[in-house]
Structure 1
């Protein structure tokens, strides 16, 4: 699993003109699933994101997690994170998991995050044409790939 995590002052997801998710301070997590991802990836990545210290403490040092600040989270599926651009100019998405594999893992990831986070996480809709709006705070943008954990 690969994620792009952005610390936001606000973020929202709109599908077909309807706002389906909206948060204030917190994290926008773009999540891409590959064909060989497992529940081990879900557990590791969930733990990493929820404990990632990217929010400022009383001294302005990034020393607090989204849990510490009681922030919110939006998770958006994003298969294009696994684009290969090595050949030509048209990205290839061969490594991205097909929906029959990706959807159950995406849903388990959300459930695992909610369980560990202790509150509801907002989401986009898998496979939908989404308009994602955010106000990146910092800017702080972190890329984490569960296949690069060592």
Structure 2
């Protein structure tokens, strides 16, 4: 069985905090952790994200650092979303991972660094589509069966 926790680090944008919250809770994840939130994101984004968490009967945890989140949640595995590169593994390598899994992403489209023996750097897609897009595809991959697509005819030329 897998328990998924999403961590978003380093954001100052109200809109990004709200978008991350919508994506995370929309996929049914119950725990969203925000670390290093500052500026208007801390003043206005956090209260908005909290309202969204209440709507989904989920929790929003605000902590100063990634280390605090790791110490508090003690995940079995930490999957850090990164831009595609030769050092980054495909997320599909971890599709059957069990236990307490923390999925970490940077809130400002940078690459974050997380230290630990249980840390793997992953990417859900081979394109650099930004971290909200990366997180969305990662959750879709890990949650399984989230696409509602019907194929009709040829897609050639699209």
Asked if TM exceeds 0.5, the reply is no
- Which range, TM-score by smaller chain? 0.3 to 0.5
Q: Normalising by structure 2, what TM-score?
A: 0.38
Q: Normalising by structure 1, what TM-score?
A: 0.39
Q: Which one has the bigger helix percentage?
A: 2
Compare relative contact order (CA 8 Å, sep 6+) and give the higher one, 1 or 2: 1
